[in-house]
Amino acid sequence: MRKRYTLYITKVCNLDCSYCYELDKSSKNLSNSELEKNIDFIFSNASNKDDIEFEFIGGETFLNMDGIKFACNYIETKYSDFRITRYIATTNGTIYSKDIVDFINSKKVFEIGISIDGNKIMHDSCRHFKSTRKGTYSIVAENSKKFLKELKVEPIVTMTVHKLNIGSLFSGIKSLYNLGFNLINIGVNKTDIDDRFVKLFIEHHKQICEYILNQERPLKLFPMMEKQKSISIQTRLKGNDINNSSIVDVYEEATSLDDDRISADLKMYYSMIIQTNKVWTNMGENYERK
């Protein structure tokens, strides 16, 4: 079974996004000893029969690049008998360096996900530098082009969709595609989903599909075009109270919306995704899904 474990690397962040879900915004990098304890805790709950993924999150993960390096080395040294299939780092895209690129490229599979909320107007309305309150789109777009060119594993971009920007979904996806991204993940604020949201979500996907069918470069849009139809359920591992410095989430799979572990919000979300999937199936029969 595939399992993804999230590992907080830092609570430090250089942004102040309007919809940020992080409640603990203390300026703190996790120490090496805290990372060791948290990793040990994860593996005490893991099986060496699973395909294990680690996702590094923050804060802004690249503000503690030393912590990421330490964690990878600790995992690979102490837990070499486990199947670590890939690392993932989520970043706001404001930090780039050759050192980051070289380290990521040194791993067999290390993916990064860059957060960009569509076009410049959409993005800068929500994602600001903490120190200046200025929008971050220009620097994120510049850094994204470098990551796209230099990383051996193609980056994925995540656009957060909520009730204030759902009406601009097509424009946002088109902007990210034109920026050079072929892999686009749509992250949905699930508490915003209502009948209006679902209607607009599906309508905009019809526009996206019509647009992309006329382009030469392929696009893979998650989660609508994933071949795997399983449902990801986020649960929290119990018993880890290391200064409350790391909340360890594990993502497991269910195959039916009838699973008791699925919340009402999540059921509505996956129902919307299933409907949208039919749009791509019906309109994109000649589209090569890679």
CATH number of domain containing 93: 3.20.20.70
Q: Please report whether residue 173 resides in a domain.
A: yes
290 lies in some domain:
no
Q: How far apart are the first and last CA of the chain?
A: 23
Q: CA-to-CA distance for 194 and 9, rounded, in angstroms?
A: 34
Q: Which amino acid is at 22?
A: E
Nearest to 117 by CA among 136, 133, 96: 136
pTM metric for this prediction = 0.84
pLDDT score at 72: 98
Residue 288 gets the label, from left (phi > 0), alpha (psi -120 to 50) or beta, of beta
Total domains in the fold of the chain:
1
pLDDT of residue 80: 96
Point out which residues pair with 158 in neighbouring strands. 115, 185
Question: What does the pLDDT read at residue 258?
Answer: 59
pLDDT digits (tens, 9 = 90+) for 209-237: 888 888 888 888 887 544 444 434 344 44
Sheet holding 51-57, edge to edge: 220-222, 183-188, 156-161, 110-115, 83-91, 51-57, 2-8, 249-254, 231-236
- Alpha helices (H) along the chain: 32-44, 65-78, 98-106, 120-124, 137-150, 169-179, 195-212, 264-283
Q: What is the pLDDT of residue 266?
A: 67
Residue 289 in any domain: the answer is no
**Beta carbons within 8 Å of 207's beta carbon, 6+ residues apart:** 170
Q: What is the pLDDT along the chain (290 residues), one digit of tens a residue?
A: 888 899 999 999 999 998 887 766 667 899 999 999 999 999 998 999 999 999 999 999 999 999 999 999 999 999 999 999 999 999 999 999 999 999 999 999 999 999 999 999 999 999 999 999 999 999 999 999 999 999 999 999 999 999 999 999 999 999 999 999 999 999 888 888 899 999 999 899 889 888 888 888 888 888 754 444 443 434 444 444 444 444 444 444 444 555 565 567 667 777 787 777 777 667 655 444 44
Q: Do the domain assignments include residue 8?
A: yes
Chain segment 233-285, per-residue pLDDT in tens? 344 444 444 444 444 444 444 445 555 655 676 677 777 877 777 776 676 55
Specify the DSSP class assigned to residue 176.
H
Residue 110: partners with Cβ closer than 8 Å, 6 or more residues away: 86, 87, 88, 89, 104, 153
Q: List the structure tokens of 118.
A: 């569509």
Say if CB 248 and CB 240 are below 8 A apart: yes
Q: How many Å apart are CA 170 and CA 174, to the nearest integer?
A: 6
CB-CB contact of 68 with 100 (8 Å): no
Residue 177: inside a domain: yes
213 found inside a domain:
yes
Query: Considering the domain boundaries, does residue 20 fall inside one?
Result: yes
Q: Would 186 be classed as within a structural domain?
A: yes
What is the extent of the structural domain holding 56? Answer: 2-283
Q: Which of 179, 69, 68 is nearest to 114 (CA)?
A: 179
Distance CA 234, CA 232 (A): 7
